[in-house]
Amino acid sequence: MSEKKDTVGKIALEILGKEEHNPDVVGQQREMLQDYEKNVMQAVQNGTEQFNGDFYVVVSTKQEKLLKNIIRNYFFPRESCPSPQHDQVVYKYRAREQRIELLWVVPGREACEIFRNDPLGVPAEERDLLMDVLSFYDGSLLKKCMTLNGEIKEEKASKSFDPQAFDDQDNHRIIS
């Protein structure tokens, strides 16, 4: 006989039922990322079997509606570039070179608002993420998506937000 395992839902409800539930954020993050790379590579493998040529790998993070302490990442390949949205990571797989490149990361709505409202407070190691968030809000990521899908022609280099171009004392944009 095989041993019957508890379902995720049952375990989550038990945790929620405990009065003193203090989530270990670092532990949760470590657990979530444990199989991340393996799942991205599995999505790449699935994509190479489904599509001829380049394709995209999307990682969509979802919080369970009924069980708020359950967060899942869904990994899937797709032929077209998806429209950018919150809680999404998008990679492009270049078949000829057999390599994957990160296109963008858009965190959840709350994190995006924190980045957007205080760009100068973002640590240097998170500047790439800041640029993705600002590009999400100014429509640059959507333009990139539409260009990659052939919906619009590629524009010449457009101006992008440069957080270094702000005067730290009074947050005025430096024009040179």
Residue 91: φ, ψ to 5°? -120, 155
Ordered strands of the 99-106 beta sheet: 71-78, 55-63, 88-94, 99-106
Structure pTM? 0.71
Residue 50 has pLDDT above 70, yes or no: yes
pLDDT band (50, 70, 90) for residue 161:
very low
Give residue limits of the domains in the chain: 24-154
Average confidence (pLDDT) over 109-121: 93
Spatial separation of the C-alpha atoms in residues 56 and 95, rounded to whole Å: 11
* Beta-carbon count within 10 A of 91 CB: 22
Minimal CA–CA distance to 134: which of 173, 166, 161, 157? Answer: 161
Report the range of poorest mean pLDDT among 12-16, 89-93, 162-166.
162-166
- Please tell me the predicted confidence (pLDDT) of residue 143: 96
- Please tell me the predicted confidence (pLDDT) of residue 33: 72
- Please tell me the predicted confidence (pLDDT) of residue 71: 81
Q: Give one DSSP letter per residue of 14-66, joined into a string.
A: HHHHSSS----HHHHHHHHHHTHHHHHHHHHHHHHHH-SS-EEEEEEEEE-SS
Report pLDDT digits (tens) over 100-114. Answer: 999 999 999 999 999
Average confidence (pLDDT) over 109-126: 93
- Please tell me the predicted confidence (pLDDT) of residue 89: 96
Report pLDDT digits (tens) over 65-94. Answer: 777 777 889 999 999 999 999 999 999 999
List the helix and strand counts (H, then E) for the chain.
Answer: 6, 4
